[in-house]
Amino acid sequence: MPIRLFDSLTREVRELRRPDPSDPKDVFSFYNCGPTVYAPAHIGNFRTFVVNDVLRRLLELEYGPDKVKHVRNLTDVDDKTIKRARDEGRSLSEVTQQWTKKFEDDCKALNCLPPHDSPKATAHIREQVDMIGVLMKKGNAYRAADGSVYFKVSSFDNYGRLSRVKERELQLGSALAGKPQAVDADEKEDGSDFALWKAHKPDDGANAWDSPWGRGRPGWHIECSAMSKAILGDTIDLHTGGEDLLFPHHENEIAQSECCNGVPFARHWYHSKHLLVDGAKMSKSLGNLYTLDDLTAKGFSPMALRYALLMGHPRKQLNFMLDSLQAAESALVKLRSYRAGLVKKAGTAARDPADVMEFDFVFGSLEDDLNTPGALGALFDDMKFPTPADVFPVHAANLLFWFDRAMFALGLKVDEPSKPETSIPSEITALAEKRWAAKQAKDFATADALRKELAAAGWSMLDSKADYKLEPLRK
Ligand code: AMP
Ligand code: ZN
């Protein structure tokens, strides 16, 4: 079946382009805007990256592993990364390398396939300067008095097609030109024109490069346009990111790329919706911002987080609760035991390749606009019958083949325990959560009783202001 996916530009579910199987050079090009590497990524960021990983896996299953090229960049120079380095008195590269490593470790723990290329913005300054040069030559950009270069939005007729920004402005009542748009720290403050090149300021410290317009650094948007062009070419098959990137980031990428290259930038745009935590936007001040480490410290496995992130449709906001992780851990136990049953029943039997396809609704749901909750539902439906006990070994071998393919598509690792031996049992995590809730509600009697219960089970809870950690008691 072809893969159908919502396209944010045309606002309809459309088939993705299928590369020509007989042309080895024809690959499906897929650019996913990557993280800004200045702090640990939170579980909202990982929702976006896990959804993109399922997409990558599905493309590989459908087109073949060597017919897909997946690029995910690293934003390693912008206001946030520079500020972090300055605040910590470290070099920009020290800070960004530290957080790139952490990001990659977390992605690995979440079983995300590494992209084929992870370009860093600082390694592509020349390409960015070249693109800005073309835009200057074509009259789409101008140099301001301080040496910054801006893209002239009025020079691109199609500006606003992706985000329908003109409609949105009418609703919000803010004019496109001449008014500040507090959308991100990278925007010019007095109008819709946006920075391509930012003249060096004292706060930037040593983080500046030479350009025909003076020393400075690139704007955020040009980074992706230039890296995408350098690695995947002028027109790409699919460009993705979280919903917040649609405007202005992707709108600006289209403007720069299409004015520079003179051809359409991306054939398909996909934006997944955000993750909320306990019904609210994640923020440090609300105490609801979780990283992967926060969850593993509570005893949950990275695989349970991956599962929980797939429980909602990627095009709907997903409300995350710790309870979802309990449900995810139980689902993983069932998947592991089902697989172990198939392995045992199949024994040494080989699958008959002429045998029927199994778990077809799992694949069908994913191919139908990446319906991950639909795929998980179909998986558990199909596991009800036949069970490993109901089938002959040769059939068990066939079921195992298709089950493993479904697990590959979803990126769920269920052929080994998802938790390390020393992990925290879910009953203990449940007790700890109860105690934490009691403490927050100032019900200290209940909190103390639960602490004793935990101690009796061999666990202690170390509280900090915003959170707690569980540790096994030494015997
Ligand atoms: P950043 O590191 O801020 O550039 O974000 C990396 C990716 O995470 C982008 O694709 C964002 O759209 C996405 N993202 C940020 N916050 C959330 C959230 N709460 N839920 C889902 N995705 C998010
Ligand atoms: Zn980007």
**What letter does residue 68 receive in the DSSP assignment?**
E
For residue 168, the model assigns a pLDDT of 60
Q: What separation in Å is there between the alpha carbon of 171 and the centre of ligand 2?
A: 26
The domain 275-410: what is its CATH number? 1.10.730
pLDDT single digits (tens) 388-403? 999 999 999 999 999 9
Pairwise CA distance, residues 310 & 314, whole Å: 8
Pairwise CA distance, residues 338 & 334, whole Å: 6
Pairwise CA distance, residues 361 & 284, whole Å: 40
Closest ligand 1 atom to Cα of 241 = 10
Instruction: Give the pairing of strands 28-32 and 238-242.
Output: parallel
Delimit the domains of the chain by residue range. 19-272, 275-410, 426-472
Which residues form the pocket of ligand 1, taking CB atoms under 6 Å from any ligand atom?
Answer: 33, 35-36, 44-45, 47-48, 241-242, 244-245, 274-275, 282
Average pLDDT, the chain: 92
Per DSSP, the chain holds a count of helices (H) and strands (E) of 15, 14
Asked whether the bond before 386 is cis by omega within 30 degrees of 0, the reply is yes
Ion ligand 2, residue ranges at CB < 5 A = 33, 224
pLDDT at 185 over 50: no
Pairwise CA distance, residues 196 & 130, whole Å: 11
Asked whether the bond before 248 is cis by omega within 30 degrees of 0, the reply is yes
Residue type (1 letter), 363: F
Closest ligand 1 atom to Cα of 41 = 2
Contact 315, 303 (CB under 8 A): no
* Right CATH for 19-272 from 3.40.50.620, 3.90.15.10, 3.40.50.300, 3.30.465.10: 3.40.50.620
Nearest bound ligand to CA 79?
1
For residue 474, the model assigns a pLDDT of 61
Nearest bound ligand to CA 73?
2
pLDDT-based confidence at 192, cuts 50/70/90? Answer: confident
pLDDT-based confidence at 347, cuts 50/70/90? Answer: very high
Structure tokens that stand for 119 in this block: 């370009």
- The answer, as to whether pTM is greater than 0.75, is yes
Q: What separation in Å is there between the alpha carbon of 305 and the centre of ligand 2?
A: 25
Q: How many whole angstroms from its chain centre is CA 150?
A: 29
Closest ligand 1 atom to Cα of 48 = 22
Nearest bound ligand to CA 185?
1
